[in-house]
Amino acid sequence: MTRIWAKGGSRPRAPRDQRYQWAYIFGAVCPDKGKTAALVMPHADAGVLSLHLAEISKQVADGAHAVLVLDGAGYHIAQDLEVRTNITVLRLPPYSPELNPVENIWHYLRQNKLAIAEYDDYGHILHASCQAWNFFAEDMAPIASITKRDWATLNI
């Protein structure tokens, strides 16, 4: 059993899978253009993040530049991270997840696609993760509404 929101006094049931296998969604968005870039990987480290940065770099238009907001996760601050020339990394201060727009994506995916589910095997976990990201990436409305920040707009 697991915890879920329910009407007071009721006892709803929800499945909870207690096996431990992980898939990591590395995702990035451009709120203005509605573009996304993502990888679903079995582990998270600087090498995988470098692969994700390469994928983001491919999505950046010629002559454009991307700013990628990262928190203080160990692999986000690794010295061997391969950052492409068309990407600038903006590191957030410690303990400030509310400043990172991508945190809203993870919340959205957990609420809409990745919660209260049982997975048959690891392939099913990967498939569900990819489907969840594609569900998000194919709809412009949530991309802009949950990731755009007025304070991040550059006025030239």
Every domain of the chain and the residues it spans: 24-117
Model confidence pLDDT, tens digit, residues 60-106: 999 999 999 998 888 888 888 899 999 999 999 988 888 888 999 99
**Rounded CA separation 22/126 (Å):** 9
More confident of the two residues 63 and 119: 63
Report d(CA 113, CA 129) in Å as an integer.
Answer: 9
Tell which phi-psi region holds residue 5, choosing left (phi > 0), alpha (psi between -120 and 50) or beta: beta
Assess contact for 12 and 43: CB atoms under 8 A: no
Residue where the block lists tokens 């899978």: 17
User: CA-CA distance, 89 to 109, in Å (whole number)?
Assistant: 24
pTM of the entire predicted model: 0.80
